[in-house]
Amino acid sequence: MPPVPPDVTWSQPSPPACLQRSDGAGRLRFVADHGRTQATGLYQSDPVRFLFPLPERGEPLPAILVTTSGGLAGGDRVRISLAAEPGAVATVSTQAAEKVYRSTGPVTRFDTTIAVAAGAWLEWLPQETILFDGARFARTTEVDLAAGGRLLAIEMLVFGRRARGEAFSYGALRDDWRLRIDGRLTWADALRLDEPLAPLFAARAGLDGAAAMATLILAGEGGAIARDAIRDAAEAHPAVRIGASVLGPVMVARFLGRDARALRDAVVQAVGLVRNRLAGLSERLPDLWYG
């Protein structure tokens, strides 16, 4: 028999003091020095680590975020802070998909703050986050963009370990975005999934049986070009529902699919097309995406 789902209200108490919980943080800043981007201001605490592989010719400076714990449990917290100074060009990705394990009550938190200065191009391209059945996950992404700066960012969620026949049948999710341009709130978005989950996944106007979903944003100039690139990717992936809109200085695209792998492939192509057409970069993402 399947396990009885625990209570999943957001007011669960903190985990007992005897349980070890991680509270990791990472900070990284990119600066341009005579046309060459360098990483500086590095700070990291367990389980967060940054790795710096050599960049491919003509590609942005890469930084790879690693969670050394092998996944996040209930009560764990990760805080990431990224900044790109004027003229900097950089890509931040993750070593692998992030796993969020089943929780006995406490919420797993992942908070990201991003600052992009005028003339900078920053890519925040983490691989997918896999929500194990019973996970309780809260994620916030705060962006401060200066006029003339550009940010290409994605976030993907996979509902359950599909290779093991597992769905996200109980648990909770809170995913919040806040984007400010020159200090003014320009775009805000919030997603909340809470018990009961079955009607949300069954509804055609809801998740419609989705195994995975993703959000892609381009903040800054070039929204119409990015939207058209997304539409080209959508034509190549008819099994994935994809929509893109330009909202002033922000282009927002949504991906929803019943096959997590197909959705990932669509996201990879879409990101590649956007970065190529807007920044002249390769359509190929960092090699870790193709492992």
Number of structural domains (the chain) is: 1
Please tell me the predicted confidence (pLDDT) of residue 160.
94
Whether 149 maps to a domain, the answer reads: yes
Containing structural domain, residue 60: 23-284
Confidence of residue 290 (pLDDT cuts 50, 70, 90): confident
Whether 18 maps to a domain, the answer reads: no
Please tell me the predicted confidence (pLDDT) of residue 205.
86
Whether 6 maps to a domain, the answer reads: no
pLDDT in tens, 128-184: 999 999 999 999 999 999 999 999 999 999 999 987 888 899 999 999 999 999 999
Q: Which residue has the higher pLDDT, 192 or 69?
A: 192
Whether 8 maps to a domain, the answer reads: no
Please tell me the predicted confidence (pLDDT) of residue 1.
42
Whether 153 maps to a domain, the answer reads: yes
Whether 180 maps to a domain, the answer reads: yes
Whether 7 maps to a domain, the answer reads: no
DSSP assignment of the chain equals -PPPPPP--TTPPPPPTTS---EEEEEEEEEEETTEEEEEEEEEETTEEEE-PPPPTTSPEEEEEEETTSSB-TT-EEEEEEEE-TT-EEEEEESS-EEE---SSPPEEEEEEEEE-TT-EEEEE--PEEE-TT-EEEEEEEEEE-TT-EEEEEEEEEES-GGGT----S-EEEEEEEEEETTEEEEEEEEEE-S--HHHHH-TTTTTT-SEEEEEEEESS-HHHHHHHHHHHHHH-TTSEEEEEEETTEEEEEEEES-HHHHHHHHHHHHHHHHHHHH---SS--GGGG-
Whether 218 maps to a domain, the answer reads: yes
